[in-house]
Amino acid sequence: MSADPLRSVLYVPGDKPRAIEKARTLRADAVILDLEDAVAPEHKDAARANVRAALTIRWACPVLVRVNGLGTPWEHADREMALLAGVDGLVLPKVEDARTVRELHLRVPLWPMIETPLGVLRAPEIAATPGVAGLLVGANDLARALRTRPHPGRLPLLPALSAVVLAARAYGKLPLDAVFNDVRDPAGFARECEQGRTLGFAGKTVIHPDQVEPANTAFGVTDAEADAARSLLAAWEQARTEGKSVAVWRGGLVEQMHADEAREVLDLWQTTRPEPR
C-alpha cells in the first residue's frame, strides 16, 4: 500500500456509522477507521463491531484501522478483528521503540504513530523495522508532551516534524503529517498543508470531509506543474540525443536527478487525476 499516493488520509471515528458511510463517498486517498482516541471507553465494543461491518464491504480506497495501544483492555480484540476482516493496514498509536513493532508479527502494513518525544528520538529505528509502511505524526500528543505553546506556524514542533520526515525518507517509508484541529479555518489548513509539503511530507491526515480535497490539491500535482515537468523532460531528452550530459531549461542546468524528479511528478499527476466514482 505504501506505493499508493496518500495525499489525504481521513480519520473516521468507529462509533459513528453515518460518518463511516459518508467516508465512502469522499475522495480521500485512504481512510483510518479509528478505535482509539476518537472513541470513548464505553463505546469501544460498539465501534469495533461497526468497523468489522464496514470492512465487509469493498471500499474505493485503502482502509486502515487505528487500534488501541499496547496494554489497553481492547488491544487484542482490536487487532484480531482488523486482521480477520482483511484490513489494508494497522495504525499503531504512541509507538516509542522498534521492538514493540517487531514483536507484533503481523502480516499487514504497519503505520506507527510518532507522538511522544521518545518516539521522535527513535523514529529512525522504528522506520527501519520490517513491515512498517510509513510514519504518522500525532502532533497533539507530542505538543502536550513537549509542553509547547500553540503557534500558528508550528514553530516549536518543526524539529520533531523534520525528524520524522528524515527517518521515514531514509528508509523509503511514507511520512504523513498531523491533523489540523480547527475545521472552521480553511485558510489555516491550507497554510499547514503547504508547510507540510515543504517539509517533505507525502500527505496529511485529516479529520473532516471538507479537508479532503484541499489536502489532495496541496499534496498533488497541478496541470501547470505537470506541463513544466514535461517541458523539462523534453529538454533533457533532447540534450541526451545530442550527446550532452546536462541540459539547460529555463536558465538552469538539468541533470539526471532533475529528470527523475520530473518523471515522479508526472507519475503522481497521472495516478491522481480525478475520475468519477
Q: Closest Cα partner for 205 from 36, 8, 37, 33? A: 8
Q: Which residues are annotated as a binding site for Mg(2+)?
A: 115, 141
Element (H, E) at 32: strand 30-34
**How far, in Å, are 30, 83, 158 from residue 24 at the CA level?**
10, 20, 33
Q: Which residues are annotated as a binding site for substrate?
A: 66, 115
Separation CA 66–CA 114 (nearest Å)? 13
Place of cell 453515518: 18
Find out whether 89 and 109 touch, Cβ atoms under 8 Å: yes
Q: Which residues are annotated as a binding site?
A: 66, 115, 141
Separation CA 109–CA 156 (nearest Å)? 31
